[in-house]
Amino acid sequence: MPHAGLMDEGSLGPVKGPLQRARLHIRGGKRRLRQGKISAGIVTLYDALLAAMEWYVNEPALRATLAITDKDDLRNEAHVYAVLVRSGILDTTFDFTAFDGLVEKALEKEISGDGLSEIVEKIDKVMTRLGVMPFDEALLPPEDPATF
């Protein structure tokens, strides 16, 4: 993954670690897409999304804004996404279930880049709504182009 060797997520903790991983994976996922590594790019952006949601629910001030019920399993990404939608942080213009299905396909084989710009645009909107984007890439550790 794009964060390998660039950060020690454990030492950053449950708030800063996932946020840094999300940003590194946004950068790395988009690079992979530009290189034509569509499946790897999609999977990397999915991990960025999961890290962003993990950060959001672990950041105390942000978590306080969420409508969490006893039935919500915050270790389940679909539940977290539903909480974010129910809380008005995200809307339904991004289809998490469809994206999850695309990721499953990408894990099995190389997929085409059809509709790629729309997917990236929607991911960017989600990341912006979550507060992960925009960010200054200059503040991230330098990327190692040798990572896949």
Map out the domains of the chain as residue ranges: 9-134
What is the per-residue pLDDT for 2?
A: 42
What is the per-residue pLDDT for 146?
A: 66
Q: Which residue has the higher pLDDT, 6 or 49?
A: 49
Report the chain's mean pLDDT, rounded to a whole number.
Answer: 90
Q: Which helix (H) or strand (E) holds 26?
A: helix 9-34
Instruction: Give residue-wise pLDDT tens across range 6-28.
Output: 555 667 667 899 999 999 999 99
How much of the chain exceeds pLDDT 70, in percent?
88
To the nearest 10°, report the CA torsion of 31, 102, 117, 38: 30
> Cα separation of 130 and 128, whole Å?
5
pTM of the model: 0.89
Q: Is the pLDDT of residue 118 over 90?
A: yes
DSSP 139: G
Instruction: Give residue-wise pLDDT tens across range 64-113.
Output: 999 999 999 999 999 999 999 999 999 999 999 999 999 999 999 999 98
